[in-house]
Structure 1
Amino acid sequence: MANIVEVTADNFDELLKSDLPVLVDFWAPWCGPCRTVSPIVEEIANDMDGRLTVAKCNVDENQDLAVKYGVMSIPTLVLLKSGKEAHRVVGAMPKARLVSEIEPKL
């Protein structure tokens, strides 16, 4: 089972140093679509273990990171490669579509 990193301002910079691409799920507990996407993100973390690092960032607790990455609505998933944004997906979607958005960018 893949490990999903809980992102905070304290560990975010370290996460960016990862050799693997990093998928950051910007979410909030009160967000219905976020709750829909969460199990899909967990499945992707398991399916792509070893190819991708998956992290979750609670925007209520980490507003500075949400602002830094221009998160205007949630859920927002940002794929980072070598510390730079490679792709962004906004809103809930089925797993197959989300994978088809992410996989070509890995």
Structure 2
Amino acid sequence: MAVIKATDNDFNEILSSNEKVVVKYYADWCGNCRLFSPKFKRLSDDELFANTAFVDVNAENSPEARKMAGVTNLPFFAVFKGGQLLDTVAASKEEAVRNLILKLDA
């Protein structure tokens, strides 16, 4: 599945139209964010996560979306279920993000 680019304008709509959502918060200047992009895309293509929407949010341009997850560091990942924040992790390791996404099915 393609990674959806979101802004404050459409973030709530994406949360309400998808039961399970994982969000990667990034900034253009963040090297670790850029390095994680191919891993995030690979996770989005994983059959295990076929019913999960993968969303990219530029944390600098979307303060409301950033506030909803309490972003403290970049890259920062959050999972939402039924529009509600379930959990977050600030990490650059694929395993940490995979474990976060698996919480959506717990």
Give the TM bin, normalised by the shorter chain: 0.7 to 0.9
Does residue 80 in structure 1 map to residue 84 in structure 2?
no
The corresponding residue for 2:59 is 59
**TM, length-normalised to structure 2:** 0.86
> Could you list the runs of 5+ residues in structure 2 that have no partner in the other structure?
none
- How far does the alpha carbon of each residue in 1:50-105 deviate from its partner, in whole angstroms, 9 at most, with x for none? 32100000012112321332111111100000011112111201x33421332143
The corresponding residue for 2:22 is 23
> % of aligned pairs identical?
23
Post-superposition, which runs of at least 4 consecutive aligned residues in structure 1 deviate over 3 A? none
The corresponding residue for 2:2 is 3
- Go from structure 1 to structure 2 and tell me whether the alpha carbon gap of 1:102 and 1:32 turns closer, same or farther (over 3 Å shift): same
**TM, length-normalised to structure 1:** 0.86
The corresponding residue for 1:41 is 40
Contact 2:44–2:50 under 8 Å retained in 1 = no
Distance, in Å, in 1 between the alignment partners of 2:27 and 2:76 is 10
Distance, in Å, in 1 between the alignment partners of 2:69 and 2:103 is 21
Q: Partner amino acid for 1:3?
A: A
Distance, in Å, in 1 between the alignment partners of 2:6 and 2:45 is 18
Distance, in Å, in 2 between the alignment partners of 1:27 and 1:62 is 10
- Go from structure 1 to structure 2 and tell me whether the alpha carbon gap of 1:64 and 1:39 turns closer, same or farther (over 3 Å shift): same
> Could you list the runs of 5+ residues in structure 1 that have no partner in the other structure?
none
Contact 1:33–1:91 under 8 Å retained in 2 = no
Q: Please give the root-mean-square deviation of Cα atoms over the aligned residues, in Å.
A: 1.6
